[in-house]
């Protein structure tokens, strides 16, 4: 077999005549190679500082046995192609050579197939490397899969907990609003209820991101001031950085608004700060700044996060946004933080870039497109007058049902509520027609089943308002959904949009 590549072969042989016979056999066999000879232990140790395509060794030398030779070779090249030649043979010698890790065994008077033996040994070596690489890649994929499965399990667990949490927040927000309406805005305790509402709304925002992440969908977008988001997040950020790392902010006092999910913007900021913390093991300074920028004729709100850490080499900088790429040791991180940040920024229509050099720190720059405030302005809905429309509420959570009954009853609707589809069917059969159904589309009912068949079969032609969680039902018209947790005002607005006019 002829190999176009020229190889370097190490021959461990003390007999010059036999060494020349080996060279001749390799040339005759068509193997393009340079043969370097090591006649003893001292020369072998010197030669093993170099690299070779294959090694040929005499079975026995005056100062080297085959066992000693292989030990010397394997200490430097653990898996090098290795062929043994011998002036005589026995079954014991053959088995010993193969047991010690030789790839082939030839008699010196039969060197005609030496080139083929060396080529075969090199091919076996190549296949061993490919198999080892494939096994390593498979193991890495398996570890990634196990990690993804763990993340998915945690996401499902969190989703179940947050489902209950959302129900409780919905009840708190609804009941607090009703209490405020009852006691009036000038009551001495009204400011306390306003604080409860503000805290509930903040808690509601915090639930959107975990639920959206567990379903690989984004949460609700809001009109945000980037400087205000950073300023609010700063106290938590300083705690996260630790005592020997200082957070500085340089925030533009007035910025055009952006349209994004607040919790996701905070997650981007958190991931960048965690990256900065890891880049400053001995302490340092992180500076977060915001201003306005123009790129390609468009206006952006710009966020910069700069650290005084160890910086990155060009090779690392190229891979910094790749999923699962990390410079951390095993068990210290997944490498998903910056990849997640990039995905969030891109989903918001923005861009993220990195500038870094070894020992000169790192700066991430994020551009968020400026929002069209005219299209995203919120309008307050006034309380509805008495209508006598009939609404059927279906929700498994008693506290939520009670709150919905109170809000809808106060607004003038005739409300009937139940915890199950079966009970709802009985109500529909025994009572007057229903004008609107308000149904929980989360546990324990399947969202897809609720939206496609159950409710339409229950009361054909009746409009439905589904109470969902973050991104729970993507196939339905957004106008047919109200995301938990919600305020009474948001509920009444959604019902008004769905309620058929009186004939």
Task: Tell me the two tokens of residue 96.
Answer: 């010993």
Instruction: Show the 3-state SS of 136-186.
Output: HHHHHHHHHHHHHHHHHHHHHHHHHHHHHHHHHHHHHHHHHHHHHHHHCCC
CA terminus-to-terminus distance, the chain = 93
Residues, the chain, total? 503
d(CA 201, CA 218): 18
Per-residue model confidence as pLDDT tens for the chain (503 residues): 444 578 999 999 989 999 999 999 999 998 999 999 999 888 888 888 888 999 998 887 888 888 888 888 888 888 889 998 888 767 777 777 777 778 888 888 889 889 999 999 999 888 888 888 888 888 888 877 777 777 667 666 666 677 777 788 888 888 888 888 888 888 888 888 888 887 877 777 666 555 554 444 455 677 899 999 898 888 878 888 888 899 999 999 889 999 888 878 888 998 899 889 988 988 999 999 999 999 888 999 999 999 999 998 888 888 888 765 565 544 444 445 788 888 888 888 899 999 999 988 999 999 999 987 654 334 333 443 444 688 999 888 888 888 888 889 888 888 888 888 888 888 888 776 788 888 887 654 444 445 445 676 777 878 888 887 754 444 444 447 888 888 888 889 888 888 876 55
- Contact assessment for residue 435 and residue 391, using Cβ atoms and an 8 Å cutoff: yes
The domains of the chain, with CATH numbers, are 3-128 (3.40.50.2300), 222-376 (3.30.565.10), 390-498 (3.40.50.2300)
CB atoms near residue 118 (< 10 Å): 30
CB atoms near residue 404 (< 10 Å): 25
Task: Tell me the two tokens of residue 91.
Answer: 């079954």
CB atoms near residue 212 (< 10 Å): 20
d(CA 496, CA 489): 11
Pairing mode of beta strands 481-483, 464-468? parallel
- Contact assessment for residue 338 and residue 271, using Cβ atoms and an 8 Å cutoff: yes
């Amino acid at each position: 077999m002829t190999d176009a590549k020229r190889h370097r072969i190490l021959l461990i042989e003390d007999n010059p005549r036999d060494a020349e016979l080996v060279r001749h056999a390799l040339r005759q066999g068509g193997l393009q190679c340079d043969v370097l000879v090591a006649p003893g232990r001292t020369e072998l140790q010197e030669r093993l500082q170099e690299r070779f395509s294959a090694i040929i060794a005499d079975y026995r030398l005056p100062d080297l046995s085959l066992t000693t030779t292989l030990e010397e070779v394997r200490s430097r090249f653990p898996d090098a192609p290795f062929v043994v030649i011998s002036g005589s043979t026995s079954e014991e010698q053959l088995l010993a050579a193969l047991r010690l890790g030789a790839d082939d065994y030839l008699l010196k008077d039969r060197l005609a197939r030496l080139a083929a033996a060396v080529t075969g040994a090199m091919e076996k070596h190549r296949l061993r490397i490919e198999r080892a690489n494939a096994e390593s890649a498979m193991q890495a994929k398996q570890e990634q899969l196990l990690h993804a499965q763990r993340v998915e399990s945690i996401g499902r667990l969190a989703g179940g907990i947050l489902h209950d949490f959302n129900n409780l927040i919905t009840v708190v927000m609804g009941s607090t609003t009703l209490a405020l309406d009852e006691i009036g805005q000038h009551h001495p305790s009204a400011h306390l209820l306003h604080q409860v509402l503000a805290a509930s709304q903040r808690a509601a925002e915090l639930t959107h991101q975990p639920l959206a992440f567990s379903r690989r969908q984004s949460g609700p977008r809001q009109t945000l001031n980037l400087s205000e988001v950073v300023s609010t997040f700063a106290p938590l950020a300083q705690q996260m950085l630790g005592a020997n790392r200082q957070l500085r902010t340089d925030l533009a006092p007035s910025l055009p608004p952006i349209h994004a999910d607040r919790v996701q913007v905070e997650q981007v900021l958190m991931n960048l700060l965690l990256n900065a913390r890891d880049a400053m093991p001995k302490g340092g300074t992180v500076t977060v700044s915001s201003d306005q920028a123009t790129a390609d004729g468009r206006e952006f709100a710009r966020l910069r996060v700069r650290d005084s850490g160890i910086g990155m080499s060009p090779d690392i900088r190229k891979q910094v946004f790749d999923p699962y790429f990390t410079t951390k040791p095993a068990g210290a991180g997944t490498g998903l933080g910056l990849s997640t940040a990039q995905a969030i920024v891109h989903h918001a229509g923005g861009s993220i870039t990195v500038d870094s050099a070894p020992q000169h720190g790192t700066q991430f720059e994020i551009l968020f497109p400026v929002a069209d405030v005219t299209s995203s302005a919120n309008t307050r809905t006034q309380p509805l007058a008495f209508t006598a429309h009939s609404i059927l509420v279906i929700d498994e959570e008693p506290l939520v049902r009670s709150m919905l009954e109170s809000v809808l009853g106060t607004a003038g609707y005739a409300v009937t509520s139940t915890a199950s589809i079966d009970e709802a069917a009985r109500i529909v059969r025994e009572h007057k027609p229903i004008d609107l159904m308000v149904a929980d589309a989360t546990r324990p009912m399947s969202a897809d089943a609720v939206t496609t068949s159950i409710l339409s079969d229950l009361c054909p032609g009746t409009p439905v308002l589904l109470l969902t969680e973050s991104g729970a039902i993507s196939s339905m018209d957004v106008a047919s959904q109200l995301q938990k947790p919600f305020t009474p005002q948001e509920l009444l607005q959604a019902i008004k949009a769905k309620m058929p006019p009186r004939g």
